[in-house]
Amino acid sequence: MNIFHTKSDLKAYLDAHKTKNKQIGFVPTMGALHKGHLSLLEKCAQENDISVVSIFVNPTQFDNSDDLVKYPKTFEADVTLLEAANCDAIFAPSVQEIYPNNVAASPFDFEGLEHEMEGKFRQGHFNGVGTIVKTLFEIVQPHTAYFGQKDFQQLQIVKKMVQIQQLPVIIKGCKIHREKDGLAMSSRNSRLTDAHRKAAPVIFQILQEVKNKFKVDPVETIVKWVEKEFEKQPLLHLEYFTIADEKTLKNCEQKDPKIQYRAFIAVFAKEIRLIDNVRL
Ligand code: PAF
């Protein structure tokens, strides 16, 4: 496995493979890898000749400086995991390598997807995501890139960017990986206290109950029920819960049988922000 820190070194390595018509698969990450990331890599390795994983904690997508500073960084452990999981190349650039002039996001228009859910609570977050994902696509020039569905809004936004800007890459969304107790795997889970970690699986339990209720109850009733359930949780603070159209991410007010809906949630466990979603 090769580890590259500069665009030019990675490009030289990939160019040699591209001239031999090798398929390049790409998994962008911010490191602190878990089984969810490894499942993306597994799919990537199955479907491509060369698998590239980037590890870069992108400063421009953090709306909270404390979250950026405390974001888990486990580079050595990540390298060991990737080595064992058929990764061919790691791209781990410095902030200077990615943002040589100005550490700032560019503005993006994702046709309104960016104004829903996360976009309402994380100012500028999706401009940061668009900026880094586009930059990484330009550097790696993968045939296919793999994203987890835990960040479902991010997945839809990346697909939209690729469509609007006609970027030559196929985007694949991969299913959410969960701990045995249902908690969606996330790099941030390692920052939970024992008590918050014990409380957190209720997020998925509530989402599962929402899935049942959605068959019979109106959306308004379900939203009220979720809010009440979180009032019973002293260690968890509900930031938002919404049922939305998978494609437009717009709130569902009246159920339409022609539309595929998903339930989305963001919860604070102390200062750790956890998100999750289920298809309804
Ligand atoms: O999902 C993530 O880990 C990040 O948002 C991504 C896609 C690697 C961009 O920094």
Q: Confidence class of residue 149 from pLDDT cuts 50, 70 and 90? A: very high
Q: Confidence class of residue 52 from pLDDT cuts 50, 70 and 90? A: very high
Whether ligand 1 lies within 6 angstroms of the CB of 30 is answered as: yes
Taking each helix axis as running N to C, give the angle between helix 7-18 and helix 125-140, from 0 to 180 degrees, rounded to the nearest 10: 50
| pLDDT at 193 (0 to 100) | 98
The residue whose C-alpha atom lies closest to atom 8 belonging to ligand 1 is 29
Torsion of CA 171, 138, 7, 125, to 10 degrees: -70
Residue type, 35: K
| pLDDT at 183 (0 to 100) | 98
Helix (H) or strand (E) holding 171: strand 170-174
Helix (H) or strand (E) holding 2: strand 2-4
Whether ligand 1 lies within 6 angstroms of the CB of 132 is answered as: yes
| pLDDT at 83 (0 to 100) | 96
What's the gap in Å between 199 CA and the centre of ligand 1? 26
Mean pLDDT value of segment 248-263: 95
Whether ligand 1 lies within 6 angstroms of the CB of 105 is answered as: no
The residue whose C-alpha atom lies closest to atom 5 belonging to ligand 1 is 129
What's the gap in Å between 217 CA and the centre of ligand 1? 35
Supply the mean pLDDT for the chain: 97
Mean pLDDT value of segment 229-241: 98
pTM of the model: 0.96
Of 5, 34, 37, 177, the catalytic one is 37
| pLDDT at 74 (0 to 100) | 96
| pLDDT at 140 (0 to 100) | 98
Torsion of CA 62, 103, 32, 63, to 10 degrees: 0
What's the gap in Å between 18 CA and the centre of ligand 1? 25
